[in-house]
Amino acid sequence: MIGLGTSGFTLMEAAGQAVAEVASRMAGEGEILVVAGPGNNGGDGLVAAAWLRRTGRRVRVALLGNRDSLAGDAALAAAAYDGPLERLGPETNYTAGLLIDALFGAGLTRELDGAQARAVRAMNASGAPILAVDLPSGIDGRTGEIRGVAIRATRTITFFRLKPGHLLLPGRTQCGEIEVARIGIADSVLRTISPSSFHNLPALWRNRLRVAEPGDHKYARGHVFVTSGPPHSTGAARLAAMGALRIGAGAVTIASPADAIIVNAVHLTAIMVRPCEDAEDLTRLLADPRPAAIVIGPGNGVGAGTRANVEAALASSAGVVLDADALTSWKDASAALFARIAGRSAPVVMTPHEGEFVRLFRIEGSRIDRACAAAKESGAIVVLKGYDTIIAAPDGRVAINSNATPDLATAGSGDVLSGLIAGFLAQPMPAFEAACAAVWIHAEAGRDIGRGLIAEDLPPAIPAVLKRLGPAASH
């Protein structure tokens, strides 16, 4: 941003003023203690302290390190601050109406220790509300991980856009309420820096949603197949099928073993059921040019039969969503699976939870780094499910979802999600955007339902979420 014409100190002044305005709302009439670090985050805190003093607030500043050691914009901020500076140390008194955490921002990538860690622990133990500047100190801005110890903020103010650390666990839970201040950086900057990491919000994918046309018939809106398990394990496939139908697929068919057809049929009305005993049968079903997407895995069972069905699906022209047993069935042959994905033009989306992910991938690191590496290795869109679901594409794009509710942690919820993704693929919608949209809508439906949610509640809740999104764009 500085290289695009705005000086660093000008941005720091704007950031500090924004911090001061939030601090004034939070502190009431009490004294404010600014705990400032040696870098630009500390500089933001010093500017905020100067603003607060000018408005008549009682302010103290405790600086980590020596004033003379400050450099660059932080040194300019210290020079402009006309109040006393304390040396941050064991004797620092943290009794205040508000603490401003201006120690370290989003650029932290190392463990906090020594005086830094002691200060963070003391602030957390003070009982005072804490306003974090940019990101709670101790949180890694890219991964959301705690670097040794981290501030538990009451509120966090950041600038221009959120960072991954605001959205990923555990950073997300350390931030408290988050405010984003603009500070004069133009949106056009995004075109220059071309970010590949995104907050999963409707603006990312809404213009890719398909609008129904007056001349449409059901197959023009996409046909989704879902493979079913045996008679005692059919519910997961039906949940996925209902998700696909509710999200807008014009036709949905469950490919069912013969002995499970009656079980599936008595539970279904708008969803068709077709016999499918093995991969050969599935190949024949997918030879119909109308199937546009298929879900394999939910309730299918782990083993050679499911692997063969995956091979049949990947040999077709349909978009493929692999979930649950379709992933675990390849735990000892992941390279062979990835080779089959690499040879096709139609998209593949994998939707592992943490346990399924580690069975399929031998990748270490943070959740966001692992999801990105897995997408690149596999050639598929990877939806790493969780409270902070991550959607990663082989081309490096990654989106972090933040609207989930813990109530979605219930059996069958993920099956509905796989159906939503397939329904979007079938309409058709680009795979990355389809996965992002499905994850957000799935979470939003969960928020609408709230406590007591069971997976069967999710498909009927989808239309209300779609209605709030408004008319989709035609393309």
Domain residue ranges of the chain, discontinuous segments joined by + = 2-194, 202-469
β-pairing verdict for 390-392 and 319-322? unpaired
Give the per-residue pLDDT at 474.
42
Q: What is the mean pLDDT of residues 196-218?
A: 90
Mean pLDDT of 384-402: 98
Domain 2-194: state its class: alpha beta
- What is the reported pLDDT for 475? 39
pLDDT of residue 69: 85
- Between residues 5 and 332, the one the model is more confident about: 332
Higher pLDDT among residues 2 and 65, named by residue: 65
Mean pLDDT, residues 105-122: 93
- The residue with tokens 């795979």 is 431
What fold, for 202-469? Answer: UDP-N-acetylmuramoyl-L-alanine:D-glutamate ligase (3.40.1190)
Beta strands 390-392 and 398-400 are: antiparallel
Which of 261-289 are b and which e, b meaning 16 or more Cβ less than 10 Å from the residue's Cβ?
Answer: bebbeeebeebebbebeebebbbebbeee
Res 68: pLDDT = 84
User: What SS3 class is residue 179?
Assistant: strand
Q: Residue 28 has what pLDDT?
A: 84
Q: pLDDT category, 470, cuts 50, 70, 90?
A: confident
pLDDT digits (tens, 9 = 90+) for 6-58: 678 999 999 999 999 999 999 988 999 999 999 999 999 999 999 999 999 99
Asked if the domains at 2-194 and 202-469 fall in one CATH topology, the answer is no
Q: Average pLDDT of 294-323?
A: 97
Q: What pLDDT is recorded for position 257? A: 98
pLDDT at 70 over 70: yes
Confidence tier at 172 by pLDDT (50, 70, 90): very high
Residue 473 has pLDDT above 50, yes or no: no
At 274-294, the pLDDT tens digits run 999 999 999 999 998 777 999
Of the pLDDT bands very low, low, confident and very high (cuts 50, 70, 90), residue 217 is confident
- Give the per-residue pLDDT at 192: 66
Mean of the pLDDT values across residues 93-121? 94
Longest dimension (CA), the chain: 82
pLDDT of residue 188: 64
Q: Can you give the pLDDT at residue 3?
A: 41
Query: Hey, CA dihedral for 438, 267, 288, 314, is it positive or negative?
Result: positive
Residue 338, SS3 per DSSP: helix
DSSP state for residue 139 in the 8-state scheme: B
Q: At residue 128, does pLDDT exceed 70? A: yes
pTM of the model: 0.93
The CA distance from 187 to 160, in Å, is 9
- Where does the pLDDT of residue 2 fall: very low under 50, low under 70, confident under 90, or very high at 90 and above? very low
- What is the average pLDDT across 103-110? 90
What pLDDT shows up at residue 229? Answer: 97
Instruction: Give the model's confidence band at 189: pLDDT under 50 very low, under 70 low, under 90 confident, else very high.
Output: low
- The mean pLDDT value of the chain amounts to 94
256 bridge partner residues: 275
